[in-house]
Structures are given as C-alpha cells and as structure tokens.
Amino acid sequence: MNYDCIIIGGGAAGLAAAAYLSIYSIQVLLIERLDRVGKKILSTGNGRCNFSNREMSAENYGNKHEFIKKLFKTTSPSEVLDFLASLGLMFREESGRLYPRTMAASSVLDVFRNALQKDNIHTMLQEKTVLITNKNGLWQVKTESKHEYIAKYLIVCTGGKAAPKMGTDGSAFNMIENLGHCITPIVPALVQLRCNSSILPSLRGLRIHAKVSLLVNKRYVNSEVGELLFTDYGLSGICVMQLSGNAADALRKKAAVSLQIDMLPEIPDSHMISWFKDRLNSNSTNTVLSVFTGVFPRMLSQAILHEAAIPCTKIAAALTPLEVDALLNQIKRYSLQVTGTQGFDSAQVSRGGVSLDEIDPYTMESRLHPGLFFAGEDVDIDGPCGGYNLHFAFASGLTAAKSIVLNQHSEEV
Ligand SMILES: Cc1cc2nc3c(=O)[nH]c(=O)nc-3n(C[C@H](O)[C@H](O)[C@H](O)COP(=O)(O)OP(=O)(O)OC[C@H]3O[C@@H](n4cnc5c(N)ncnc54)[C@H](O)[C@@H]3O)c2cc1C
C-alpha cells in the first residue's frame, strides 16, 4: 500500500507528528522497531515525564539558539502546549518544569496512543527500517523483514544514540548518511562523568550543594550550581549532567578536561577569608574538624582536610597561614580530572546529528531532498535538563507535520 507520509520512529517526535497528521486526511504509516511506541517516554523524568518548561526559550539551546528561534516562529512553545492540551493532557508545574497532572509518564504516552486511533494512521511495530531511497520523487523505505513501503513524504525521527535499550542505537544515522546528509559527531550528553581523584572512594554516595565549573585545556567554559553526587567512578547530579555534553565534546577532541568544585557557593570568594577567620575564632580551642561542623557532612570535612594534608585532630588556632590557604583552595576550587563519561547507556540524550546547515528550521525539511523531514534527536540539537529535549522533539515533529499538511493542501488546490 502507498501512503502520503511515512514516519520512521515512534518516539516523542514521531508521535507528535503522527498525532498532528491524524487530524487531516493524510494517509500515514508510523514504523517503529520495538514492540511498542513511546517506550522512552515512559522512563523520562524518573517516570513522571518532564515534557516542557514554562521558561522555554531559544536561548536555552546554547549555540543552536538561532535555529530554534526560527523553529519557534513556525511552532511556538505555547502552540506545543496547546497541542498537548488538545490531546487531553492536563499539566502540573514544579519550579517551571511541566509534567502531566497525573505525574505519570504513561499519561503522556496514552494521549498520543488515543490520538493515533484514527483510520488514516497505520502503525507497524517490530519493523526496523534499514534502507531509505528516493525514486521518481517517492520515498521507499525497506525494513529488516524485507517489507517495502512507499510515500510522498518521509519524516525520519529515529532518535539519537542515548539509551540504546530503548531502540536508539544510532544505527539509523547510516541510512541518513547514505542520502548524502552530514552527521556531526555524536557524543553522550546529560550523562555522569568519570573522574580521576583520590577523594572519590571516601565520598561515594554523598550529595552536596555545589557550584561545578568545567575547564577545557585549563580554560573556563561554563558552570552550574545544584546538587552534586559523588560516586565511585566520578560525579553525578544535575549540575554535572548539564556540563557533560561540553565535556564529552572536548574529550572527543582529546582536550584536557577538568571540573572545579566550589563546595560553598553561598559564600563569595571575597568573603571567604573573613568567614573562615570568624569560624576559626569561635572554634579556636577545638580541632580543625569542628570548624566545619554544621557546614559540611563530616566525611566531606575529613576528605577536605586529608586533601589539604592537615590532620583532623589539629587544634584550629594552630593552623598556619599556608594551611588556611590550602583549606580554602580545597573548599572553593577542588579540581578533578575528567577521564570520560558513563557512555550512551547512561546518557539521557546524545549531542550531534543531522547538520543544521542541511535542514530548513521553519519546516524541518531537508535542504538536500524535498519531501524528506527530520525531527527530534536525529537533529544536531540537544537541550539542558528541564523538559527541553522532549519539547524540541514535540516542536520539531509538529513543525514537520505542519509543513507536510501545507504542501499537500497547496498541491490539491
Ligand atoms: C532515562 C531518560 C530520561 C529522560 N528524561 C527526560 C525528561 O524528563 N525531559 C526531557 O525533555 N527529556 C528527557 N529525556 C530525553 C528525551 O526522552 C529524548 O530527547 C526524546 O525522547 C527524543 O525524542 P525522539 O522522538 O527524537 O527519539 P526517541 O523518543 O528516542 O524515539 C525514537 C524512536 O525511533 C525508533 N527507531 C530507531 N531506529 C529505528 C529504525 N531503524 N526503524 C524504526 N524505528 C526506529 C526507536 O525505537 C524509538 O522508539 C530522557 C531520556 C532518557 C533516556
């Protein structure tokens, strides 16, 4: 059977596109390699699905903001939310992050599944697409089980390389490259970082509020403030995950990557000496360990003193100026060398994908092949934690679908 449009990949972007097209008399085939659609959606936001953010703006997408700005002209953030609401989804907001009212990711998937119950939407499960070709202006899609499907329009939204157990092992990028498209290097992002440091074994499992800065070849790149989690292999926590895409990119280029931790970001550098002297004075006859009581968990205080080569039993008043300097340095600028990431298996997204130069941001159509569209993580866009990746998947999927409806209608007139 021939279709008007084939969508490859039943993830967030593919479902949004299919749900939009379901409203129109466009024959759609949605092809998904797994035994169900939207498997990844179910594990997003710890099973609660943080699908967007009240603070949604193009600037959140870093150096890709110009592309997003144009995309948002076609499909504004509020249009994405209105569309989800039109499918029946009610929202709940927590610190700007948007979740389904039920706080269950299954609700997001269920509204999409409802929307696909239309005669014009056909879903093929357990069909892995292996080849895409174009003959005489029509897209031919071949699957591993030797089926062949043909359509005028094709939306490729097979996801990136993160979380391969959820169907996204990046194998689809070969098909896209075979069409002549350029794929920028793919690295894990929103992922934990592996670090080299003697402090780690003793702090495993400890969570602190910290400011973490990323340095590449000793140059400051960016920093994040938030929860930091020490693990046996390195560091985790939202602030580390936010820095991980840039770190992974730099590691790929064989640069020297390090993290600098400010364990007391509430106290600015300029106040640190007087703050510390006050604490020394009020604890002068106690051990130096007690200076940090009420500031850090005990095991962190011990680790800081150990790194500064100061015995925990030393009397506070006996600290030398050099020892004070060493301590303040450990607290405000503790440095760890980054040796790698926890890889695609642990990453929430991948960075890299179809080059933005080859996609029209107003339509998500390929600049190389008319009738071919890309959406979601296939595209060289990734956002921070907070609902920005799902929002991009939905916005780009809707934009591709809208362009197809417009093209189809203008041909019919
Ligand atoms: C654990 C986890 C938590 C996350 N939490 C959040 C969050 O709270 N908020 C947020 O914004 N983002 C979150 N993300 C990221 C977000 O889920 C993704 O960015 C988003 O799902 C990307 O949508 P997509 O449609 O591009 O790809 P996906 O949702 O990955 O879907 C791609 C689909 O294509 C299918 N496919 C792949 N290749 C083929 C092929 N050859 N043939 C047929 N089908 C194929 C796959 O099986 C898959 O179903 C999280 C990710 C993970 C892994």
Q: Which atom of ligand 1 is closest in space to residue 15's alpha carbon? A: 25
Tens digit of each residue's pLDDT (9 = 90 or more) over 171-223: 999 999 999 999 999 999 999 999 998 888 889 999 999 999 999 999 999 99
Q: Which atom of ligand 1 is closest in space to residue 397's alpha carbon? A: 25
* Predicted pLDDT of residue 201: 87
Q: How far is the CA of 310 from the centre of ligand 1 (A)?
A: 49
The answer to whether the CB of 332 is under 6 A from ligand 1 is no
* Predicted pLDDT of residue 340: 98
Q: How far is the CA of 159 from the centre of ligand 1 (A)?
A: 5
Report which protein residue has its CA nearest ligand 1's atom 30. 159
User: What is the pTM assigned to this prediction?
Assistant: 0.96
288 neighbors 319 (Cβ within 8 angstroms)? yes
The answer to whether the CB of 351 is under 6 A from ligand 1 is no
Q: What is the mean pLDDT of residues 316-327?
A: 94
Instruction: Map out the domains of the chain as residue ranges.
Output: 2-187+350-412, 192-342
280 — phi, psi (to 5°)? -65, -45
Q: Which atom of ligand 1 is closest in space to residue 52's alpha carbon? A: 11
Report which protein residue has its CA nearest ligand 1's atom 29. 11
Q: Return the CATH fold of 2-187+350-412.
A: FAD/NAD(P)-binding domain (3.50.50)
Q: Which atom of ligand 1 is closest in space to residue 14's alpha carbon? A: 25
Give the 3-state secondary structure of residue 204: coil
The answer to whether the CB of 168 is under 6 A from ligand 1 is yes
Distance of alpha carbon 95 from alpha carbon 75, whole angstroms: 24
In this structure, the number of other CB atoms found within 10 A of the CB of residue 190 comes to 26
Q: Which atom of ligand 1 is closest in space to residue 37's alpha carbon? A: 49
The answer to whether the CB of 234 is under 6 A from ligand 1 is no
Categorize the per-residue pLDDT at 1 as very low, low, confident or very high, splitting at 50, 70 and 90. low
Tens digit of each residue's pLDDT (9 = 90 or more) over 213-256: 999 999 999 999 999 999 999 999 999 999 999 999 999 999 99
CA angle 171/172/178 to nearest 5° reads 110
